[in-house]
Structure 1
Amino acid sequence: MKRTRRPQGFLFALAAATLLIAGGGALGCDGGGGSVAVPSANLAKGGVYVAYNHKFKECSAGCDQLQKGDLILEANGSPVSTRADLRASVLLTGQPVKLKVFRPSNQQTLDVTFTSTPSAGLPPIPDAPPLFLVGAANLDKAPDWARRNLFGHASPSIMLSNANGGILDGRQLFGSKHMLVFWDWGTREEQAQAVEILKVLQLAQGDLKAANVNLLFTHITFPSNNRQAAMNDGQLRDFQAQNGDASKPPLPLFRFPNATEYNAAREIGLEGATPYIQYLRSPPAIVLLDEGGIVRWHSEGIQPLPAGSPIPTPTQYTIIEAIKFAQEKL
């Protein structure tokens, strides 16, 4: 029987270290509200959620009848509820598959005959599917405050520079779980939040690694920042050295490339050309990707501390909730 990892060890370590972490408890500008992408009502029928449809040429039938937000309920008469139920050996054989599909936008049920083979249209991903999918029940696990604009998307285009050298593009994120924490230093409040999150993530990164979640602590300039220039690699490393816990391993540091480094050919992802930066509004922004490349969590700002919470500050509560989700539900 599969065992579920639990975060108590991390939380106990966090409680013991609370006095070492400076409080950054003020709420960010999006902490208490914001729109909800993909509400639970749109997932209530269950099945498998269509996050993106590439309509590759290898899809000879059915792709033109499917759209983002559709719920695939059956394949050849059998109920489906997870991405594995529609794996390539079921859906991409080149043989017709009869799908029953529910469309929440108009409450219609459709019968779609789908025929496709894998595509070479997303290099370097071999055998890419035309449809990026996620089980509706799995997608519905996120709280409303973690369903901002990116939620339910296939991972958009991105190009990141590693502070220790190297470039990472969005398609390299496909196939494994990732936690991307986008932060900024435009105000004193944002700087304090970034320091607090850095220290919490240092405590948690071992547990995240054990849960096969890759962590990317990523500095970007948000639209609200007209005060501070973006950090370079040396400044990023200095920020961690000065504010992190030297007794614990450093976090993997990333940033958006500067004008000299930027290469449009490397800013790629699983959807169209729209990049991450167009979806990010308020720091800190936390994005969790599952191994199928689907955004299962997108929160922005700092959440209010619930009544009776044992967590000492809103900043710690926000990042801990994301960590727990990454460990247990991603």
Structure 2
Amino acid sequence: MAEPSFDVAHLGHVELYTDKFAESLDFFTRIYGLTASKVGDGVAWLRAFDDYEFHTLKLTANSTTGIGHVAYRASSPQALARRVTVIEGMGCGIGWVDDDEGHGPAYRFTDPDGHIFELYYDTRIYEPPEDEKPKLKNIAQRYHGRGCSPRRIDHLNLLALDVGKIRDFMVQALGSRVTEQIQLDNGRLGGCWFTVNNKSYDIAYTEDHSGTSGRFHHVTYAVDQREDILRAADIFLENGVHIETGPHKHAIQGTFFLYVWEPAGNRVELANAGARLILRPDWPTVTWTETERRRGQAWGLKTIETFHTHGTPPVQKKD
């Protein structure tokens, strides 16, 4: 077994494109329950109440939907330098950028499917205003109970044409470990779940059947307990939010989930994701067969068809 690398500390933030900026911002703040650290002209930096950084979701107005970039925070300046050296050697580097409100210089690169990633270390710690300061000094912001009120960002899922290439890439570029995967009957990998720390996963990739690269599947924020997700289902219902599937329990990774589409069509999940930790240093990758996955989720709910077909940006139909 290769010596594990812990140069990368955790998932930092996700930039999401929307072609309905005002409606998406209203969803993420009033209904979903994130806090806006700053709102500018066509861009908003958002965070959950216990995210320690300035933002974990960057919402950007665009002509389309989908993913802008994914950012991870390195463990130290030295760790960042080591990862940049590795990534440059892989030939997928873009270069340094230093133009974001939430953190210092970041190194940009692409995965084999064309998604843009950033690695940074210097970050902006969230400083709550007086009316958001918590009574307990060990959390980042007071619990406001607004909307679904998730605690923290948890993970995201990206779509890719070749998950096998992604598996090799993530292990080499970020030092990620593969915790679970789906092995299809045709020999391809249908999905892969990765972690850089002791969470069960911080990013997943699943196969894109559209023939289009660089697309987005969903982003997930974590709540404390299953009852929070049941409450969220009623909140979404009363606010006319499209509930795609759930509440239910995943077979892979075991999270209790609820998927919705925000107003622009990007898929968003809430999950009770804190129960499972990967503490075993020699964790063997759990491999699921295609037959096993056809059985559905943990308690038998069949995976809804749109979960395999809907991604953003939408694929333009050919005449």
TM-score by length of 1: 0.24
Q: Which structure has the highest helix share of the two?
A: 1
Q: Of the two structures, which has the highest relative contact order with CA contacts closer than 8 Å and spacing of 6 or more?
A: 1
TM-score by length of 2: 0.24
